[in-house]
Amino acid sequence: MINQTTLAKSASLSGVGLHSGQTVKITLRPAEIGTGIVFHRQTAAGTVSIAASAENVVDTRLATVLGKGDVRVSTVEHLLAALTARGVDNLHIDIDGDEVPIMDGSAAPFLLAIDQAGLCMLPASRRFLAIRRPVSVIDGEKRVSIIPSRFFRVTFDIAFDHPRIALQRRTVRVSPETFRRDLAPARTFGFLRDVEQLKAVGLARGGSLENAIVVDDQNILNPEGLRYQDEFVRHKILDAIGDLSLIGYPILGHVRAFKAGHDINHKLVNKVLSCPDCWQLLEFSDDDLRVAMQMNSLTFGSRMALSEA
């Protein structure tokens, strides 16, 4: 898409918060050109609006958390991943709790709600952040980088000392189709020993086999098993798409990650934004789109309109 989008109509979902265990309702509402993605947290003192942007990230330990003052909205990554993959640029999100509902632990319920609402094209071009020079972050064994690419692509490696996970690797060129088929149903996962520790300190109260893959020292405890043989790494890619959306623009670049999580994903976002000489903001005209369709790929040709970062 070369134009900005929003939803054609509102859509609502409700479910439990992963950590609070409380029922939370969210409503996705159409928004005007240039709004971006904005959460509107309903509190006893009134509504607090928090833009889904890197500057508003306040915690990345167990999930990606946005905040303003004392108000928080947690576990935003699955919803943001679905919005990114579907190409939703502008949206109001009303939420009556402090975390996005975990649903079934995947992005599939959010994708379904977006599909049912439909997209509305707005009369303004969208801008893409195109990586021109590599950017990398290393934190111990964790590594994540982004290099130039004509598309948004993610390659992810995970390594766990567990017989049902071990080493997994997958590369996905992110599009609405690949996200729906290969990533959206992939669920979050955790180790039984960690879940028990979290519940002991008042967290993960909403976690269950209904909304997460849980593994003990040897086996997967979910009676239905896995949705994909490599569901674990697929979910890591899903998380990364949501985390990297906080860069504020659709990305043209290839993300390569090893043992990465929310913390280092956010560090990459901040490093990219702090290195404006490593990227450019691009807009495409109707002529560019026609050429791209003829070539069956999006090229950085001479007709590309370059906007200032």
- pLDDT tens readout for residues 199-235: 888 888 899 999 999 999 999 999 999 999 999 999 9
pLDDT at res. 294: 54
| Tokens of residue 18, six digits | 């992963």
Query: For 180-198, what is the mean pLDDT?
Result: 94
pLDDT at res. 289: 53
- pLDDT tens readout for residues 15-44: 999 988 999 999 999 999 999 999 999 999
pLDDT at res. 302: 36
Whole-number Å distance between alpha carbons of 190 and 113: 26
Catalytic residues: 262
pLDDT at res. 307: 36
Contact 52, 76 (CB under 8 A): yes
User: Does the pLDDT value for residue 295 go beyond 60?
Assistant: no
Cβ neighbours of residue 154 closer than 8 Å, sequence gap 6 or more: 171, 172, 174, 237, 240, 241, 254, 255, 256, 257
Cβ neighbours of residue 4 closer than 8 Å, sequence gap 6 or more: 33, 34, 89, 90, 121, 122, 124, 125, 126
User: Does the pLDDT value for residue 297 go beyond 90?
Assistant: no
Of residues 289 and 5, the one with the higher pLDDT is: 5
Query: For 261-288, what is the mean pLDDT?
Result: 92
**Which residues does residue 158 pair with via DSSP β-bridges, in sequence order?**
168
Query: For 178-187, what is the mean pLDDT?
Result: 98
User: Does the pLDDT value for residue 287 go beyond 50?
Assistant: yes
Q: What is the DSSP string of 209-235?
A: TTSSEEE-SS-B--TT--SSTTHHHHH
Contact 251, 149 (CB under 8 A): no
pTM: 0.92
Q: Where are the alpha helices (DSSP H) in 124-205?
A: 176-178, 192-200
- pLDDT tens readout for residues 51-99: 999 999 999 999 999 999 999 999 999 999 999 999 999 999 999 999 9
Domains of the chain, CATH where assigned: 3-125 (3.30.230.20), 128-295 (3.30.1700.10)
pLDDT at res. 198: 86
284 band by pLDDT with thresholds 50, 70 and 90 = confident
- Range in 12-21, 183-192, 278-287, 288-297 the model is least confident about: 288-297
- pLDDT tens readout for residues 129-177: 999 999 999 999 999 999 999 999 999 999 999 999 999 999 999 999 9
